[in-house]
């Protein structure tokens, strides 16, 4: 599967993929809320306008029909004063789920992050899914989650480097703190 950088012409298709992928979660989070885009769509929009946006780490998986099957992004984050990366959202359109699209996106973005020299990548997600990509509970490396309630769901993937990974509080790009539930 070919994974490539997102191009300016992909933005609306990516928004549609993120909206479709997260619609069931949004309905569960806000059962009485009128139809509207999931918070992940707003988060992605706000990340694009943030100084932490890294276009080289916004990747898409093209669909066989010429559309977009999935998207992943890493943005600038920090552990203390050390620049690191925050991963997410990762989204695969429901029509393309369970076909390896998410795995291909993860392998591509982690390879790109390592090639760019990032010491680690942090994310909030299901440990059963993300452990297959080398993610472990953040406390394993002395990295504190932005919200202690996240527990084992806040994970890091550390890349081998000649210096130990940074330790301390993980701070996402600003838009993450403005979006409740991310």
Mean predicted lDDT score pLDDT of the chain? 93
Residues 7 and 10: their CA atoms lie apart, in Å, by 5
Q: Are 139 and 114 in contact (CB under 8 A)?
A: no
Beta strand pairing call for 82-92 and 120-124: parallel
Could you list the beta-strand ranges (E) of 18-126. Answer: 53-62, 68-79, 82-92, 120-124
Nearest to 93 by CA among 64, 58, 136: 64
CA distances for 94 relative to 16, 18, 123, angstroms: 11, 10, 21
- Residue 139 confidence (pLDDT): 97
Q: How many CB atoms lie within 10 A of CB 7?
A: 10
Cα 112 off chain centre by: 13
The residue that leads in pLDDT, 131 or 23, is 131
End-to-end CA distance of the chain: give it in Å, rounded: 29
**Complete domains list, the chain, with CATH:** 4-178 (3.40.630.30)
CA distances for 141 relative to 36, 58, 122, 144, angstroms: 38, 26, 11, 9
Q: pTM value? A: 0.92
Tens of pLDDT, residues 143-152:
999 999 999 9
Nearest to 148 by CA among 135, 156, 158, 138: 138
Nearest to 140 by CA among 172, 116, 110, 164: 164
Tens of pLDDT, residues 106-143:
999 999 999 999 999 999 999 999 999 999 999 999 99
- Residue 27 confidence (pLDDT): 58
- Residue 30 confidence (pLDDT): 66
């Amino acid at each position: 599967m070919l994974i490539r950088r997102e191009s300016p012409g992909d933005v609306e298709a990516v928004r549609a993929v993120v909206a479709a992928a997260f619609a069931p979660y949004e309905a569960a989070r806000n059962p009485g809320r009128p139809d509207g885009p999931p918070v992940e769509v707003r988060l992605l929009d706000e990340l694009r306008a943030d100084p932490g946006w890294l276009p080289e780490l916004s990747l898409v998986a093209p669909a066989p029909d010429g559309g977009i099957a999935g998207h992943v992004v890493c943005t600038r984050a920090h552990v203390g004063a050390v620049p690191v990366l925050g991963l997410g959202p990762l989204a695969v359109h429901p029509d393309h789920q369970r076909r390896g699209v998410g795995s291909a996106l993860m392998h591509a973005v982690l390879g790109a992050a390592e090639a760019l020299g990032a010491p680690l990548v942090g994310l909030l997600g299901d440990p059963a899914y993300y452990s297959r990509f080398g993610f472990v509970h953040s406390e394993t490396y002395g990295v504190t989650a932005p919200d202690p309630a996240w527990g084992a769901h806040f994970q890091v993937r550390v890349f081998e480097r000649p210096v130990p990974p940074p330790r301390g509080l993980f701070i996402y790009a600003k838009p993450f703190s403005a979006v409740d539930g991310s």
